[in-house]
Structure 1
């Protein structure tokens, strides 16, 4: 039987610590999905049965290039994060480098009328945002990133 002092000790498995926050986010998203289904589900079901929702969905226009580009970039982003992160383990460099590239390319995909000013703003945003997140998580909260 463990002593009382053992109850107040925290043991961290650094090989698994990066899975802690994604699990929390996943749980929160599932709870939000459930809340949406409970609150709006009956109304959407009634609209579907009445045909109103089907008519609205059939009129929906999809920007296929941007949709598929976003999906492809997201798959590449998540797939590349761990291999890039292995270059400098437990430093978050994989997150930082892949997030900079992902943010820039995703912004480029969705911004209309690209010019020098917009490229500069995209570049600054793509570098500064992941850098700020990386600094806060890695250095302030001491949370390992991939």
Structure 2
């Protein structure tokens, strides 16, 4: 599994720590920035991660900003991306089992690093259930993306 990583200035140190965590887990990753704690816009990195996942350059993506909210909103604008904001394991598991979430968003100012690593670990290790009801709902989300493009 290849993971695309991105963070703004608020999530920079979290991202660096997460890289070491992924290496210990034996997973490859692509660091899409940022490269320092200097002020940046979360939208740039959410977009980079979301497009990497949508294009198939990465299997999953993780974006970290101050709260995770803005990054989640931005990532979900990319067709084919199902980004989930998770700060505890119940949501992380449900986002994978029920929604086949392919991007995880975290808030560095909301969750501590040990819990964040646990959430990431659970999220990466949880498979999509594949249940018909969940497939049907994901299909409806995809159809909404197409309808939104046509409405413009």
TM category, shorter: under 0.3
The answer to which structure, 1 or 2, has the higher relative contact order (CA under 8 A, 6+ apart) is 1
TM-score by length of 2: 0.27
Give the structure with the higher percent helix: 1
